[in-house]
A = this chain, B = another copy of it.
Amino acid sequence: MPVREGRYAIKLSDAPAVISFASAVGKTEGEGPLAEEFDIRHTTDKICEGTWEMCESRLAEEALEKAFAKCGRTYEDADILFAGDLLNQCVASTFAARGTDIPYAGLFGACSTMALAAALAALCVDCGAVRLAAACASSHFCSAERQFRFPLEYGGQKTPTAQRTVTGAGALLVAKSGKDLPRITRVMLGRIRDQGITDANNMGAAMAPAAACTIIDFLRDTNSSPEDFDLILTGDLGKVGSELLREVMITREQTDISAVHNDCGMMIYDPERQDVCSGGSGCGCSASVVCSHILKKLSRGELHRVLYVATGALMSPTTAQQGENIPAIAHAVEICNI
């Protein structure tokens, strides 16, 4: 049963299990430091025939298919699917969900989507409303470039603070029972932070305050400190945003998280070898890293208590062109090996 803890945290008393997880990635991600961790690695970003949008949708489908296959379940066993992506009207998720016939709740949380999906899936299982819940998120470098920036053919230049949208998807399945599996013990939905950032090439700076807000709320509500965690894992602040987050935590909260903090956007690429500016971003960034490397480590007992905090910049190209700020949000999911 979900129980409120403090002001914003929700404790899942029965700690539902992550009974399966899977990831599918594109070429650059499959050549990065986590290459061996992903279930499906494509040697090209042209995942399938058709458009970039359908390539992204195919990645989400692959992650879902694999997650179900790995635990011997079928789509018919699932009672709910929470999914989302960055594309206009979340079409990557829609077209991936269409073939599953699972009751579907579309989400929009920008790059925070995977944490939002996992949080709601775990909540629905913990309260008994559903038996098996799926969570999925995806992004694709080429569909994102066309939609948010320029067509690839234009050859636009990037600023050093910009991040590369990950071509990838992750999916996980949550159910009540399961022995020796990672468990979702707490969830917390974030509040929107707006620090007046308007530079769409510096999402890290827009998102860092949201991450700080959620981490601070979580530590306070659960009466814990950074040392209580093996890992505080942000979604995709990248290099610039991660430095800002650590700085904000020290100056405003006198809390140093640097010993336990890492960021999916910094883990998925090797900035020495790969031309990725400030690191990875996109819904598929933390989705693919969590649904591979992180959950594997939790399964093997190499990690015991992880606070996964995915951040999202809640802007659109239209609002950016209209000069509006970039509001951001961060959702948290605590995953333990217990």
Contact = CB atoms under 8 A, between A and B. Distances in A.
Interface stretch (A15-23, A87-95, A165-173): A87-95
A192 B108 contact: no
B107 A108 contact: yes
A106 interface: yes
Interface string A77-115: 001100010111111001101100111111111100000
Given A95-B327, A107-B105, A108-B106, A128 B88 contact: no
A317 interface: yes
A249 interface: no
A121 to B, nearest CB: 12
A150 to B, nearest CB: 15
Contact of A105 (B4, B109, B126, B324): B109
Interface stretch (A183-191, A224-232, A261-269): A183-191
A3 interface: yes
Contact of A192 (B97, B109, B131, B192): B97
A191 B101 contact: yes
Interface in A30-73: 50-51, 53-54
A106 B314 contact: yes
A191 to B, nearest CB: 5
Nearest to A217: B103
A333 interface: no
Contacts of A103: 8, 188-191
A223 interface: no
Q: How many copies of this chain are found per oligomer?
A: 2
Interface residues of A, number: 60
Contact of A314 (B89, B110, B192, B319): B89
A317 B131 CA distance: 36
Given A127-B2, A127-B123, A316 B107 contact: no
Interface in A178-198: 188-192, 194
B129 A108 contact: no
Nearest to A51: B322
Contacts of A104: 189-192, 329
A87 B129 contact: no
Interface string A143-164: 0000100000000000000000
A315 interface: yes
A192 B94 contact: yes
B91 A89 contact: no
Contact of A10 (B94, B107, B129, B147): B129
B194 A87 contact: no
A120 B119 CA distance: 13
Contacts of A89: 86, 88, 108, 110, 314-316, 319
A1 interface: yes
A294 interface: no
Closest 5 CB pairs of A and B: A127-B127, A2-B129, A89-B316, A103-B189, A106-B108
Interface of A: 1-4, 8, 10, 50-51, 53-54, 79-80, 84, 86-91, 94-95, 97-98, 101-110, 116, 120, 123-124, 126-131, 147, 188-192, 194, 314-319, 322, 324, 327, 329
